[in-house]
Structure 1
Amino acid sequence: MKRGKNKFDVIVIGSGSAGFSAAETAQARGAKVLVIESGDWGGECPNSACIPTKALLKSAKRYREVTKNLEDFGISAGSVGFSFANIMAEKNKIVDLITSHGQKIPRLAKEFGIQTVKGKAVFLDQNTIVVEKKKYTAKAFVIATGAIDFIPPIAGLTELGFISYKDIMKMKKLPKSIAIIGGGAVSCEFATFFSTFGVKVHILQLDPTILIREDVEIANLATHELMKNGVEVYVDTKTLSVEKYGRRKRVTFDEGKHQREHIIVDEVMVAAGKRANVSELKLENAKVKVDDRGRLKVTEDLQTSAKHIFTAGDVSGGFLFTHTARTEGAIAGNNVVNFLEKQKSRLKRDMRVVPRVTFTNPEVASVGITSDTAGMLKKEVLIGRFPIGALGRAVTERDRRGLVKIIVDKKTRKILGGHIIGERAGELIHEIAFAMEVDCRVDVLANMIHAYPSYSEAIAGAASSLE
């Protein structure tokens, strides 16, 4: 391929899990690749989302362990406290370790022969991008700009200010109380963190349950655990306004039939979902179509309405997970090169088996469809349940909370979904996911020997208890 300065085969916009995976894949197939990043190298996950959040949650878990149940193990300790400044400093160390102080992606790009540019990318035309007044052209593009927070239209919210998960990563001191608008994974994880360290947390969720994508039975158990930790959970709740109340904020909402309820808090966090981060790209100049909500129109091979432009990751409208973003990046990287080489073959994203984890206390993990979804699809199913508290391992750990639930097609006995709440849920779910991936019957899990005493026995227990 003929190449010149600032002329590339493929330009990838975004250096996160999706973007760098696309760039690496395209470069490995011989393409000259440029990666453009406007924010932190590596994207949100290692810098302000997945990794730092889990570091904070690990500090919270350790604090719970040494303050709440040491006596159950015959251990006593003196007064235990915490330093929020030190917790944040340790979180920063983890981020620096994962990102090599922000230099991991530039270093890898150099090793792979991928060029990089820092700055905001804007399409000038179908084949030209401008970054900091410099023009770069390419035959094809991959948009991997991720997603940004959806800010609900609540009176006074923008005027009085609010915080996001990114702001929490820079927080200097804990608020005494906080209202979190939204009840998804981000909301529940931060509710777990804040409540562990004595912050009064209120979750305001518009939907009938928190963790709306999870099985209702599991979501209700998660709600119960949050409330045990002091979190106030409001569901079927529409937040109406945020007003100044001295140095604090008054949040007004309708909870079901209860109208105009109020809470007074120090801070308001918004975690009400995400939308594609494309508004500043000037996609109209590239002839890329979006729908009336600003979402990209994307095929299953991740191609946009402009045939030479592909997408990957959160921006593409699928799952908002790092692990799916990485897979989509590889698909987009292959497909964009196939396009350049005029090959008709295309890889397609296959998201039938995507495990997910919410790092609450205890963890929530799932894969596949829920029992409610099975009902809506009019599938005849069998459901297996096993209480984690019945395990010898749970008894020895002095933590008997949790449930494993498996959804099985009644006729084929193939697994349609798995749902877990409990210790190590994020690890356990992968046994169910693997069984779904290889399309085996549930009886394989039921009959396989599982080590005793281990949490994995609950998988066999649920698989053996179908009704």
Structure 2
Amino acid sequence: MVVGDVTTATDVLVIGAGPAGYVAAIRAGQLDLDVTLVEKEAYGGTCLNHGCIPSKALITATDVAHGAATAEEMGIHADPAIDLSGMVSWKDGVVDQLTSGVEKLCKANQVSLLEGTATFVDEHTARISHSGEGQGSESLEFEHAIVATGSRPIAIPDFSFDADPVIDSRQALALDSVPDSLVVVGAGYIGMELASVYAKLGTDVTVVEMLDSILPGYDDDLKRPVKQRANDLGIEFVFEHTASEWYEPDEDIRVVAEPVDGAAANGGSAEAIDEERLELDVEKVLVAVGREPVSDTLDLEAAGVETDDRGIIQTDTRARTNVDHIFAVGDVAGEPMLAHKGSMEGQTAAEVIAGEPAAIDHQAMPAVVFTDPEIATVGLTETDAEEAGYDPVVGQFPFRASGRALTTGDADGFVKIVAEESDGYVLGASIVGPEASELIAELCLAIELGATLEDVASTVHAHPTLSESVMEAAENALGHAIHTLNR
């Protein structure tokens, strides 16, 4: 302990106030535990301040503008003027409202809030260093700790985020002017979401991806409508290439894309220097190749907490680390790095500490990509089900057969349900199309409750709605869909 430190004590120390940490703190407070929540930057973490919420705000705003500009078929003719600074200001207002709400909720649940950076001294003590000159530090003794420090963007060699034209996803959500051209390195969910945002703002966007397609991990039939929509927006792709360096030959910068394992150049609005190596002249570069856990700032070794070689803190089904009274939740505990997964883990950790019979269950955990169109999945795919020993039956319903989808002008995509043929239990689902992020909730509930195809199909859905497509997909699996041909 540093001489002069003030020492306090708490039942539960929560490190990090993102969706995993603040949920853990609030739930622990509800369970009458003495809770201290430490946050070094802003309540709400990356999700509320620099990720989920601001990105969806800009996605919505650019969708409004793009929708108005491309609605001639509906008899609407418009040429919206986009004020990016005004759009960003509105987005910031949404963020401020939510983050202030988190702080108020914590205080209302008797959570003590500390601003600063926490590091472990030993397995029952942490030091909290306060930001600002002369602020000093204090020591905090705890019975239990919950690590919820989240994740950060992965940097790649020669593309430092400190260099002005190179930006990460956080910086991309705070630009004060629309770049004329942009290279996005990485075609995962972050890269594809932001590529669409800037394409709708009028930026010439090229995506460089080391693999041979967008959105790794998603089935081709789900990716196909997203790739087609991206093409329609003018987004160009350079697959099987990596961004190796950049330099400044003139006012713009030049990004060099090298082939992976000798792959030939394909696609992209680029000047081919030879048959494989490409050079792209752009105004800015967004690096979006993934995220890594923030675990290297905690002095975990002092508490005896172990990580794997990627820095992920390993946990069990009760969110415990290898040290029984120290828990890890959210992105720092590994994939899937989803805010709602982190919140569920945070609630579980708090309940375990309070002696409740809680455990983590990923069976009905949805994953959503807010691309255009959206993708949402839950549970098992048909291939997963077969590999797990099930005899799956699949039902599908296209949005082009949905009256409500047609009335929105957005009828690309489908709903697909996977069930066990013998008893009809729903095993999984995938949706690509309008409001996929909302529609998936019904199928998550079906899996959580052990519902069957008959349960879903016999539930009356309001007409005309997009949710009827879920009912029709279940009916299709049963062989008696009304508004699409049955298998």
State the number of aligned residues.
452
CA distance, structure 2, for counterparts of residue 313 and residue 452 of structure 1: 38
Question: How far does the alpha carbon of each residue in 1:124-177 deviate from its partner, in whole angstroms, 9 at most, with x for none?
Answer: 12211112222111122110111111223x345568562112112321111111
CA distance, structure 2, for counterparts of residue 215 and residue 192 of structure 1: 20
1:160–1:242 contact (8 Å) kept in structure 2: no
TM superposition shift of 1:383: 2.1
Aligned partner of 2:201 in structure 1 is 197
1:409–1:415 contact (8 Å) kept in structure 2: yes
| Helix, strand or coil at the partner of 2:305 | coil
Aligned partner of 2:482 in structure 1 is none
Aligned partner of 2:408 in structure 1 is 397
Aligned partner of 1:179 in structure 2 is 183
Pairing 1:107-146 to 2, within 5 Å after superposition: 107-132=104-129, 133-146=137-150
1:213 partnered with 2:222: no
Aligned partner of 1:353 in structure 2 is 364
1:160–1:244 contact (8 Å) kept in structure 2: no
CA distance, structure 2, for counterparts of residue 245 and residue 385 of structure 1: 52
Q: Which amino acid aligns with 2:201?
A: F
CA distance, structure 2, for counterparts of residue 117 and residue 159 of structure 1: 29
CA distance, structure 1, for counterparts of residue 139 and residue 471 of structure 2: 58
Question: How far does the alpha carbon of each residue in 1:391-434 deviate from its partner, in whole angstroms, 9 at most, with x for none?
Answer: 12223223322211222223332222211111121111122222
CA 1:5–1:174 in 2, change beyond 3 Å: closer, same or farther? same
Aligned partner of 1:34 in structure 2 is 36
Q: Which amino acid aligns with 2:122?
A: D
CA distance, structure 2, for counterparts of residue 422 and residue 159 of structure 1: 37
CA distance, structure 2, for counterparts of residue 30 and residue 157 of structure 1: 45
1:462 partnered with 2:459: no
RMSD: 2.1
CA distance, structure 1, for counterparts of residue 54 and residue 232 of structure 2: 25
1:252 partnered with 2:269: no
Identity rate, percent: 28
TM superposition shift of 1:97: 2.1
Aligned partner of 1:305 in structure 2 is 322
CA distance, structure 2, for counterparts of residue 420 and residue 235 of structure 1: 25
| Helix, strand or coil at the partner of 1:166 | helix
TM superposition shift of 1:438: 1.2
TM superposition shift of 1:88: 0.9
Task: List runs of 5+ in structure 1 lacking aligned partners.
Answer: 339-344
TM superposition shift of 1:440: 1.6
Aligned partner of 2:420 in structure 1 is 409
Pairing 1:308-319 to 2, within 5 Å after superposition: 308-319=325-336
CA 1:406–1:236 in 2, change beyond 3 Å: closer, same or farther? farther
TM superposition shift of 1:379: 4.1
Q: Which amino acid aligns with 2:210?
A: L
CA distance, structure 1, for counterparts of residue 23 and residue 93 of structure 2: 25
Aligned partner of 2:483 in structure 1 is none
Moved more, 362-371 or 116-125: 362-371
Q: Which amino acid aligns with 2:395?
A: G
CA distance, structure 2, for counterparts of residue 93 and residue 106 of structure 1: 16
CA distance, structure 2, for counterparts of residue 177 and residue 321 of structure 1: 30
Aligned partner of 1:276 in structure 2 is 293
CA distance, structure 2, for counterparts of residue 296 and residue 395 of structure 1: 46
Aligned partner of 1:341 in structure 2 is none
| Helix, strand or coil at the partner of 1:19 | helix
CA distance, structure 1, for counterparts of residue 57 and residue 309 of structure 2: 38
- Alignment equivalent of 2:103, drawn from 106, 109, 117: 106
Aligned partner of 1:16 in structure 2 is 18
Aligned partner of 1:85 in structure 2 is 85
Task: List runs of 5+ in structure 2 lacking aligned partners.
Answer: 1-5, 130-136, 266-275, 478-486
| Helix, strand or coil at the partner of 2:310 | coil
TM superposition shift of 1:285: 0.6
Q: Which amino acid aligns with 1:116?
A: L
CA distance, structure 2, for counterparts of residue 176 and residue 151 of structure 1: 24
TM-score calculated relative to the size of structure 2: 0.87
TM superposition shift of 1:27: 2.5
CA distance, structure 2, for counterparts of residue 449 and residue 18 of structure 1: 36
1:310–1:336 contact (8 Å) kept in structure 2: no
